[in-house]
């Protein structure tokens, strides 16, 4: 990298002594040096790259920190090395408004007639935004709620653009404009705007035939074709982080139709809806497709998720029984429950079920509780004086710490995991990403255990009534 008499080699000779010092301070100096070599090989002949690192020391230091602490972010950078230009500006690392994201994603689709080319452009957009979000997370220790909102907004924009490509491709196959309105409803963590780096996109598909535009059979075929094309485009092979659509929360689960009319949803929920489905609908929000159909779907599900009389005693008992069964049956065998960030005592599930119970009990009379976001719902419960402020702080601390640890594991290793890491190297990197000192990695485990123990005591009292 420093050999020869070229200007590039001269700049590298100036940069490397400083960079090596920063690499040595990172959790993984070898990965940092290798990543820098690979980025330099890709961009070394580009005039602005080395000049940026030479003239903007903050960009060089940020690059060293990212390469030495986040495999996830480094992989994104190596697939789009030109994104290193973001490191020189604070403005480039802040979250972008959803409207701007959707506008850019939709514009990238309209420039391409072929579906494969269109989705490639959307993926390039998503890759760049994931890099922006993860760099801000690594460098600035972004609040986890802000990270979750940013990841969810990027997913909304990506789905909206991919849906446009799918509708256009399906329309061509049917000889022109489709005869249905189509809607994508976000569910789960996607609906709650608190996605992690490893989250799937939980969705429901809704359609409605346009008057005199399509028969019932044709409308069903067209809507199914749109949903399948959307899934196909998003599943095309790519080295980028996958965006997996998961429609298992639909009525009848995997055995039920992938797409349903609004009338079919209404008939199902009227006759067969179970309490857990009403609970799942607490996270439902329209994110792509026909806005009018989205409003109609919300009018349909609101009486289910915000029952007019709250939770009757037998439904509350069922909710507690299901939660207890989830705790006992879904935890993987052989793991330490106390360190499982999702299903362990005081983990994400405990907090989310507690907030959802409060919503189903009270949202019919308290509109402020009608939100899909866990922390927003918890804050509203405090303002409505149905949860003590100190209990809410305990619940929020556990939820935020578990969410931050899950994100930090993904950033550090590039792989999803639900357990607080026990491997010393991974734990050290996670601790660094969480803002702990170089010798304090064991404090991550100690703090997590203490925080979740306190949380579980609140859950036992507020949710289980013990």
Identify the H or E element spanning 202: strand 201-209
- 245 and 389 part of one domain: no
Q: Is residue 78 a part of any domain in this protein?
A: no
Residue that finishes a domain, picked among 276, 304, 332: 304
Domain assignment of residue 56, yes or no: no
Q: What local confidence, expressed as pLDDT, does residue 175 receive?
A: 78
- The number of distinct structural domains making up the chain is 2
Host domain of residue 393: 313-462
Residue after which a domain boundary falls, among 250, 280, 304? 304
Same-domain check for residues 328 and 418: yes
Would you give the distance in Å from CA 182 to the centre of its chain? 23
In whole numbers, what is the pLDDT of the chain averaged over residues?
Answer: 93
pTM, whole model, 2 decimals? 0.94
Q: How far is it, in rounded angstroms, from Cα 86 to Cα 94?
A: 10
Percent of the chain exceeding pLDDT 70 equals: 98
Examine the domain organization and report whether 274 and 298 are in the same domain: yes
Same domain, 297 and 371: no
CB of 437 closer than 8 Å to CB of 382: no
Confidence at residue 4, expressed as pLDDT on a 0 to 100 scale = 61
Is 232 inside a domain boundary? Answer: yes
Q: Are 322 and 429 contained in the same domain?
A: yes
The answer to whether residues 249 and 209 belong to one domain is yes
* C-alpha span between 331 and 343 (Å, rounded): 7
1-57: per-residue pLDDT in tens?
A: 666 656 677 777 888 889 999 999 999 999 999 999 888 888 867 778 888 888 888
Largest CA distance in the chain: 80
Q: Using one digit for the tens of pLDDT, what is the confidence trace for 335-365?
A: 999 999 999 999 999 999 999 999 999 999 9
Are 274 and 243 found together in one domain? yes
CA proximity to 262, closest of 226, 292, 307: 292
Is residue 277 located within the same domain as residue 395?
no
| Residue 80: inside a domain | no
Please indicate, yes or no, whether residues 297 and 318 belong to a single structural domain of this protein: no
Mark whether 236 and 344 lie in a shared domain: no
Residues 149 and 275 grouped into a single domain: yes
Chain Cα centroid distance, residue 99: 18
In a domain, residue 72? The reply is: no
- Phi first, then psi, for residue 122 (nearest 5°) are -65, -40
User: Is-contact 280 249, C-beta < 8 A?
Assistant: yes
In a domain, 32, yes or no: no
Q: Concatenated DSSP letters for 451-465?
A: HHHHHHHHHHHHTS-
How far apart CA 233 and CA 242 sit, in angstroms, is: 11
The CATH number linked to 358 is 1.20.120.330
Q: Give, as one character, the DSSP assignment of residue 373.
A: -
Q: Please state, in angstroms and rounded to a whole number, the distance separating the CA atoms of residues 358 and 254.
A: 29
Residues 135-157 have a mean pLDDT of: 94
| Residue 328, in any domain of the structure | yes
Of the candidates 258, 276, 304, which is a domain's last residue?
Answer: 304
What six digits make up the tokens of 206?
């809704």
- Looking at the fold, whether 327 and 286 belong to one and the same domain comes out as no
Domain assignment of residue 424, yes or no: yes
């Amino acid at each position: 990298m420093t050999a020869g008499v070229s200007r590039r080699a001269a700049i590298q000779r100036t940069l490397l002594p400083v960079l090596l010092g920063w690499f040595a301070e990172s959790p993984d100096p070898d990965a940092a040096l290798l990543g820098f070599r690979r980025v330099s090989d890709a961009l070394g002949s580009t005039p602005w790259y080395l000049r940026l690192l030479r003239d903007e020391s903050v960009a060089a230091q940020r690059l060293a920190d990212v390469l030495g602490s986040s495999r996830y972010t480094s992989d994104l950078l190596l697939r789009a090395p030109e994104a290193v230009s973001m490191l020189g500006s604070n403005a480039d690392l802040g979250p972008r408004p959803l409207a701007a994201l959707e506008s850019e994603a939709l514009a990238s689709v309209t420039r391409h007639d072929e579906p494969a080319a269109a989705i490639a452009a959307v993926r390039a957009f998503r890759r760049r935004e994931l890099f922006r979000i993860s760099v801000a997370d690594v460098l600035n220790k972004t609040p986890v709620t802000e990270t979750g909102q940013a990841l969810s907004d990027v997913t909304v924009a990506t789905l909206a653009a991919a849906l446009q490509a799918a509708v256009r491709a399906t329309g061509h196959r049917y000889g022109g404009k489709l005869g249905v309105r189509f809607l994508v409803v976000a569910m789960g963590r996607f609906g709650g705007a608190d996605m992690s780096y490893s989250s799937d996109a939980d969705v429901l598909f809704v359609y409605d035939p346009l008057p005199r535009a399509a028969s019932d059979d044709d409308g069903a075929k067209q809507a199914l074709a749109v949903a399948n094309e959307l899934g196909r485009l998003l599943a095309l092979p790519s080295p980028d982080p996958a965006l997996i659509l998961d429609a298992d929360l639909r009525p009848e689960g995997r055995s039920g139709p992938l797409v349903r009319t609004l009338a079919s949803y209404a008939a199902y929920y009227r006759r067969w809806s179970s309490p857990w489905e009403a609970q799942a609908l607490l996270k439902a929000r329209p994110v792509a497709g026909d806005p009018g159909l989205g409003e109609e779907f919300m009018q349909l599900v609101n009486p289910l998720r915000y029952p007019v009389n709250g939770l009757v005693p037998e439904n509350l008992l069922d909710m507690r029984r299901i939660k207890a069964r989830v705790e006992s049956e879904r935890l993987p065998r052989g793991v330490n429950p106390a360190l499982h960030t999702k299903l362990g005592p005081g983990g994400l599930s405990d907090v989310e079920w507690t907030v959802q119970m409060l919503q189903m009990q009270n949202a019919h009379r308290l509109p402020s509780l009608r939100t899909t976001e866990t922390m927003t719902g918890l804050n509203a419960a405090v303002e409505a004086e149905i949860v003590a402020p100190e209990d809410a702080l305990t619940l929020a601390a556990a939820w935020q710490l578990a969410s931050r640890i899950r994100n930090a594991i993904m950033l550090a290793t590039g792989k999803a995991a639900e357990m607080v890491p026990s491997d010393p190297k991974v734990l050290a990197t996670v601790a660094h990403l969480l803002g702990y000192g170089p010798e304090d990695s064991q404090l991550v485990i100690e703090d997590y255990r203490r925080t979740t123990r306190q949380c579980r005591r609140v859950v036992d009292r507020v949710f289980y009534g013990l």
